[in-house]
Amino acid sequence: MSDFDYSKIGKSSSLLASQASQANQTDLKSNSKLDQADFLKLLTTQLANQDPSSPVDNNQMVTTMSQLSVVENLSAISSNVDNAIAAINSSSALSASSLIGRSVLIDSKNAYFNGSGAGIKISAGDGAADIKIDIKDASGSVVASFSGGVADGDFDFNWDGVIDRETGEKAPNGMYTFSITAEQGGKIVNLPFKAYANVGSVTLGSNPSETVLNLVGAGSIPLSKVEQIAES
């Protein structure tokens, strides 16, 4: 019978540390993070090379397995969250794309005349009288004026582009500035209003907050700046 080499007792921990270090370095080269299979491999290596005089404690093993379970569950949760975010972004992109060709309300005093019309939404509050609407071209010249009666609340006004009622001549396509005055409480005031714009295309971002609407003749605005979508 060969003699047992007692000198090896107590050195298994050094062997384990060396093997674990080599395994870890290999994993770091091939992958920047450890998964459950990697942890199990290291645990198996530890059990195979444990010190006979000081075997792995059962409580430590249970703790280790519990930690592995937690890591796996966190990984699954992270994956599910990523999938949910991707689904939300996809849904938002689809919704934004459906706005192409539609009219949206934006905070602007200018409206684009596209040959058929240019619209605004006027807020008359609790009531206004002697409403007057002036429309100016890029040079500041008034090209059309309209006078109304009494109105209250919010109402839409659409300009057909006609600048000469006798001949039916229309203004050229382009941006026009609106101004609205009215009598409220015995004073002449400027009524607040916002303009409608047509969506020509959509630039999708990596998330809904980065989605941009490209408006016909009116530049681009973030989707979050749209205040209302007109009925199709």
Share of the chain above pLDDT 90, in %: 37
pLDDT confidence of residue 8: 45
Q: What is the pLDDT of residue 53?
A: 61
Start-end of H helices in the chain: 12-30, 36-48, 58-97
Spatial contact of 176 and 160, defined as CB atoms under 8 Å apart: no
144-182 burial by CB neighbour count: b if 16+ within 10 A, else e?
beeebeebeeeeebebebebeeeeeeebeeebbbbebeb
Which tens digit of pLDDT belongs to each residue from 19-39? 555 555 555 445 555 566 666
Please answer whether residues 103 and 215 qualify as being in contact, where contact means their C-beta atoms are separated by less than 8 angstroms. Answer: no
Dihedrals phi, psi of 231, to nearest 5 degrees: -65, 140
Rg, C-alpha atoms of the chain:
36
Under-70 pLDDT residues of the chain:
1-40, 42-43, 46-47, 49-62, 64-72, 75-76, 78-96, 206-208, 232
Cβ-contact 211, 203 below 8 angstroms = yes
Choices 2.60.40.420, 2.60.40.4070, 2.30.42.10, 3.60.40.10: CATH for 103-229:
2.60.40.4070
How much is the pLDDT for 225?
A: 86
Return the domain boundaries, the chain.
Answer: 11-96, 103-229
CB 160 within 8 A of CB 117: yes
Q: What is the pLDDT of residue 69?
A: 66
Q: What's the pTM value of the predicted model, to 2 decimals?
A: 0.59
The 3-class secondary structure across 22-57, one letter per residue, is HHHHHHHHHCCCCCHHHHHHHHHHHHHCCCCCCCCC
